Amino acid sequence: MDFTGMSRVRALRLVALAFLIAGAPAAHAYLDPGTASVLFQAAIAGVLAALFYVKEIWRRVKAFFTGEERRSAPDVSDRNP
């Protein structure tokens, strides 16, 4: 073997690693209901975040063309306890 710039030990390690990876048996994955639930929640959160983002962009575009200024949130100190 002639690996330019590689030592003989490093080349043997690389070949051994290749054999280990190639000889690995197929793995069968199992997803329990808890995992599926977390994935489902993440998908819903992603969709809702995307919808909120599009809504905010639409609001800014609409305000730009109509000349409206964005309303600020009411000041918390103005409220009665």
Proportion of the chain above pLDDT 90, given as a percent: 40
pLDDT at 2 over 60: no
Confidence of residue 76 (pLDDT cuts 50, 70, 90): low
Q: What is the pLDDT of residues 25-53, one digit of tens each?
A: 877 777 788 888 999 999 999 999 999 99
- Per DSSP, the three-state class of 38 is helix
What would the two tokens of residue 79 be?
Answer: 């409220």
pLDDT in the model for residue 61: 93
The amino acid occupying position 58 is: W
Q: Is the dihedral of CA 48, 54, 55, 60 positive or negative?
A: positive
Contact between 6 and 12 under an 8 Å Cβ cutoff? The reply is no
The pTM score is 0.46
Contact between 57 and 49 under an 8 Å Cβ cutoff? The reply is no
